[in-house]
Structures are given as structure tokens and as C-alpha cells.
Chains A and B, each alone.
Chain A
Amino acid sequence: MEIVHVYTKLRGEFGRQSLFSDRPAELLVDLHPDPSLGLHLIQKSPRDQAVQASRDKSEHQVNTERFESDSCGINHEEGGWPKDVNPQEMEQTIRFRKKVEKDESYLNSIPQLGSVMEHCIRENRAVDIYQDHFEAEEEAAQTPEPPSAKTINVFRDPNEVKRTISGLSWHPDGGRKLAAAYSCLEFQRTSRDMSLDSYIWDVENPNRPEMALKPVSALICLDYNPKDPHTLVGGSYNGQIVYWDTRRGSRPVEFSSVEQSHRDPVYKIIWLQSKTGTDVFSASTDGQVLWWDVRKLSEPTDCLVLDPGKEGNLDRALGAVSLEFEPTMPTKFLVGTEQGVVVSCNRKAKTAAEKMVCTYDGHHGPVYALQRNPFFPKNFLTVGDWTARIWSEDVKESSIMWTRYQMSYLMDACWSPTRPSVFFTVKMDGVLDVWDILFKQNDPTLSLKVCNEALYSLRLQDNGRLVACGSQQGGATLLEICPGLWTQQKNEKSLLAAMLERETKREKILETRQREERLRERSRSEQSREGEGGKDEGEDSPHQLLLSAQTHFYSTVDSQQGWSPSEVKNEARGE
């Protein structure tokens, strides 16, 4: 369609001035939409197109290859002397020096250098550059930051088949090295190609272990000698005790004879304080606690069978899973058992019966960890089943403080060596909990997920800052905790002492009340039995028979074991 507008002007009118006038708009063309034309076209669905007026960018991550570095020293010797001058000869060197001093370039350059130098020296003297301006302000209160912990290093098991880290021990001298015992504790899961080695790691080098320890059978636990940092002792899966000297290589220096050792895996071994510094004692689930002298590992020096009946009967012994020894109390020690009972023992007792002083029953499962509070040795921490409990030596009925039941099993626990109210626990879901009982008692102050697999062991370095935890897949993670959790607060010791005393008192009051109740019940039942003696003989209903059988059973069991907690149970069920 063509739109044409014709405009005419006479030639004679060219050049004349234009006369403009207004006139209304005039419709020239009107085009109507023609739907038939739409049939020639295809409708496209609406599209969204984003448009941005900025540069294209992309994100890319780069991981550089590991750089292995080695440090070594350089030995300096005198050199650079010209060939004819022997550096050892004093005469020749002096002569050479004198010659140089007369050299022209020397004489020219030295004064110049001297003046520059003098300027700088004077500059230094003008202001005391080492003055400490803010000394007084350093003691200002630090703002409380939320508790945190940072992973520093992870030491992974270099073998193909991963084993659990069941024991950890820090080097006693500054904690630069960490010894880890690797074993497979699951029932019948050890494979033939599982390596038996345990490693000593240097904290700075996570790439490869500093040293490997090669025992005959996998190590479950090991301990550095606190007096001699070169020696270690370990307890192995087959019950033997093994002794190493790191200066003498990876093979054990000595190991105990199989006949005299434990019959079950050795779960814990600790060095003792003694004059010779060579005594250790070990505990195992076969029910024995054995004392050894590392110079002569062919047979133990002493033996204690954890028989609650105090008869030394191995069949009835409780299997020991953890040990505790505090150097400040050298005659007493604590043993945690598989049955959930903690036994307190006295080393110096004459007879086996007197050796086991008392028992603390509290856990439903094996007591995996046991440690006295380094600041309050009368209180100790135990971990087993799903709780962690704090006990006082005086209260035998129950623990004075306990955590609530956690979601997963607790495997190991440790007090902080620098703060009396802080302790750490590890769980089977790979979580490390830091508890500060002065701050919060219901929940951990800090809960960290260290790894996806279960954590089996935990050890703190002596300065309280570094925490090492070992996992099921053989990875030892080294964490550093924030200063708030290892620096002691003001009054912390006294506050904690007050808290522990308060809890102990509470438990004691409860204990006495329970005892009174029991006495009252007993006297009441005796009276009632006298009254009903005649009636019972004729009509023995099944319920009565059951009850009497129960009471009879418990009383016979008790008479053999002599434990007070089950007396309580007995009385409760007997009524």
C-alpha cells in the first residue's frame, strides 16, 4: 500500500515569504488491523531475557600442590680469602687487611658510608624506639568472646585399611609430639592386611608420622613416661605389655611374656610414680590389674583381681576398662569396669580384700573414661553409657553431678589441666563437647562436630590449649580452643569448690534420708511379718510365692557380693 501526499507550488510563488497559519489536524490515512494477515505469522511464546550491564565473571578455585619443606642448618666457615692468603695464618690475614686499608677506594668510600651511618645512629638515639607505651592498658578487661575452637591439623592413618585410634598420649616435654595407638576394637573385624603399626606424630608435620611403632599385636593404649620422654609403654590386643625406647627404633625393646600377661586386650596402661621411675600398671577386661617393672617384663610384680567378693576369684571378676592414677595420691587408684562400676583401690593394703576399698555404681554401661579433677582430687569424672558424671569420693551412693542423657554414646572424657571447671567429652556421632560447669550445667558450652565418624579417644595437652581427638577411621584431629576456655578466671577455684561442696552435701543428705527410710521399712516389715505369720502358711498364692522367691534370690546374691546399692534395690523389690 502506498501512501502519497501531493503538494503543489507555482514556480512564480517561489521566493515569496511564507505565510503560516494554524489549521486543525487532518486525517490522512487510517489503517485498520487486519486479522487475516495474522494467519501468515506464528505466535511465539513470551520469553524472558535478562540483560545486565556488567562484566562476565567466573569463580575458580585453585589448590596448590603440597610443598614439602625440610629444615636444615648451615655451617659457616671463613671463606672468600684470596688464594695466596691462608685464613688460619694470623700474619697473612693481618697483612692482607693492612693492604686493603691503604687502598684508595676504601679510603674514599668509608667516610661517606660513615656519615650516612652516623645520621641513622643519631636518629635512633633521638627517640626510644623500644618504649612500651601501652603497658598499663594491657590489663584492661577483655571483651568476652563466644567460645570457639579451631582445627589446626588432621593426622590421617597412612594405611589402606583404616583403624580406630583407641589411645592417645602427648609427649611430656612441651607436647610437640603425639603418640597414637591404632587398633580395631570391633568384634572379629580385624582383617589380615590390617597393619599393626602405631604412630608418633610431630604436631607440625601432618603429612607423615615421625615414627612408627611396630608391635607384635595391635596396640590399644599407650603412655609416654612422664619422667623420660624417650620411653613409651603400650598395652596390646593380645594382652601383652610392650616397652619402647624411641632412640632405639621402631621395634619394641621389651615385651611381657604371653603366659604372664593379661588374657584379654589391655585397655589402659599408666606409668606410676616410683623411685626407680620404671613402674607401670595395666588393666584389662580379664578382671586383673597388673603391676610391672619395665626393666623386667617377664612377669608382673603385683596383681589384683577385681573380684567384688574380695576372694580373688577370676571368674567373678569385673572387667576393667579404664584406670586412673593421680601422682599426688600415689597409694590410691581408681578402676572403671565394664559393668558400670568404679572401684576405688588402695595399693598399700596388705590383703587382697582390703585392696578394694569401695565401689561406685552409677553407669548402665562400661565406664570408658575416668579422671580425677587435677585441682580437686577428691572429685572425679566418669563417662559411660550416655552420660558424664562427676563423683565425690565421700559419696558412694551416686554421683554428685551428671549431664543429661545425650543422643549418642560418650566414649572418652578429660578435665582441662588449666581450668578446674572445664571438661571435654567425645561422642560416637563425632562431636566434641566442651563443658564448663560454672557457666552452664545443662548443656555443653561448646559443641563441635569434628568428623563424621565416631570419636574414640581424647587427650589434652598440658597447657590446656591443644586438644587431640582420635576417630574410628584413624584420623587424629588437633584443635586449638579459644583463650576463654583455657585461661583461669578469677575466683574460679573457689566457686567450683563451693559448687562441688554444695552438691556433695546434697547427696549426703539424700543418702542419709534414704538410709532412714530403709530402716523404717525394715522395722515395719518385721513387725508385719510377725503379725501375719499364722495366715501365710495356709494360703500361698502364686503372687506371694513369686515375691518370696524374689526376696530370697536377692538376699542370697547380696550376701555374696555385699554391695550396698543392691541392698536398696532388694528392699525396694522386697516390699
Chain B
Amino acid sequence: MLTHSRIQGQKGVQGIIIVNSEGIPIKTTLDNSSTVQYAGLIHQLVMKARSTVRDIDPQNDLTFMRVRSKKNEIMIAPDKDYFLIVIQNPSD
């Protein structure tokens, strides 16, 4: 896929996961156990974040989420049916 390879080609990108609305990983570049873990945990996190944003203002919606940690950054782009999750280590 064009998008896939383009993102993968960026510097510092450690992994990409595409998850559908039910939490099933469709496409992934990480190993199975990590994928399952990320898919499950991030799905819940995005649901919570989205409901938070909508509770504050019902007209609003979540467009992007970034979780920065000591070692890397997890970026999540949510959509109606799918999420795109990218793990990047910027200081590589």
C-alpha cells in the first residue's frame, strides 16, 4: 500500500498498526503479541478520549491523539471505522 510504505519509510518509525472498530488488527508491522496488546489497550484509550471530548462539547470530535513517553511516541489517528497507530522514536 502506498500510504503504508510511505509512513514506514519515515525516519524513526518503529511500527504501524491498522485496527478496525472492533479491535482487530488488519495490518501490522510488529509481532503478534505486541500487536494484540497495542490494539486492545489503545482501542480502549481512544474510546475514552473520544467520549471525553464529546462530553465536553457534543459538537466536537477527536481528530488525533499523541501519547509521548520516555522512550517513544505513539500517534493515533482515529476514523469512523478504523484507527491508524504509529509508534515513532523521534531521537533515532
Contacts and interface: CB of A to CB of B under 8 A. Distances in A.
Interface of A is mostly: helix
Interface of B: 1-4, 6-7, 10-13, 18, 20, 22-24, 26-27, 36-37, 40-41, 63-64, 66, 68, 73, 75, 77, 79-84, 86, 88, 90-91
A129 B63 CA distance: 22
Contacts of B77: 113, 116-117
A80 B22 contact: yes
B75 A120 contact: yes
Interface string A107-138: 00111111111101110110011110000000
A77 to B, nearest CB: 8
B23 A80 contact: yes
Contacts of B13: 121
Interface residues of A, number: 32
Interface stretch (A60-68, A97-105, A217-225, A437-445): A97-105
A117 B73 CA distance: 12
24 contacts: A76-B36, A76-B37, A77-B36, A80-B23, A81-B24, A82-B22, A97-B26, A100-B20, A101-B26, A105-B81, A105-B82, A109-B81, A109-B82, A111-B2, A113-B79, A121-B7, A121-B75, A121-B86, A121-B88, A124-B12, A125-B10, A125-B90, A129-B68, A129-B91
A106 interface: yes
Interface in A48-96: 76-82, 96
A231 to B, nearest CB: 37
A81 B25 CA distance: 10
Contacts of A110: 1, 3, 18, 82, 84
Nearest to A76: B40
A109 B10 CA distance: 20
A113 to B, nearest CB: 4
Contacts of B1: 110
Interface of B is mostly: mixed
Contacts of B36: 76-78
A124 B68 CA distance: 11
Nearest to B18: A110
Interface of A: 76-82, 96-97, 100-101, 105-106, 109-118, 120-122, 124-125, 128-131
A97 B84 CA distance: 15
Given A120-B64, A124-B12, 18 more contacts: A77-B36, A78-B36, A82-B22, A97-B27, A101-B26, A105-B82, A113-B82, A114-B84, A115-B3, A116-B63, A117-B86, A120-B66, A121-B12, A121-B13, A121-B88, A124-B90, A129-B73, A131-B91
A105 B80 CA distance: 9
Nearest to A107: B1
B48 to A, nearest CB: 15
A80 B64 CA distance: 23
B8 to A, nearest CB: 11
B10 A122 contact: yes
A118 B6 contact: yes
Contacts of A81: 22, 24
Contacts of B90: 124-125, 128-130
A125 B54 CA distance: 31
Q: Which of A110, A111, A120 has the most CB of B within 10 A?
A: A110
A125 B86 contact: no
A92 to B, nearest CB: 12
Contacts of B75: 117, 120-121
Contact of B81 (A78, A79, A106): A106
Nearest to B81: A105
B70 to A, nearest CB: 8
B12 A125 contact: yes
Contact of A114 (B7, B24, B41, B81): B7
B10 A101 contact: no
- Pick the most buried of B7, B77, B83, B84: most chain A CB atoms within 10 A of its CB: B77
Contact of A121 (B10, B22, B68, B79): B10
Most chain A C-beta atoms within 10 Å of own C-beta, residue among B41, B66, B88, B90: B90
Contacts of A129: 68, 73, 90-91
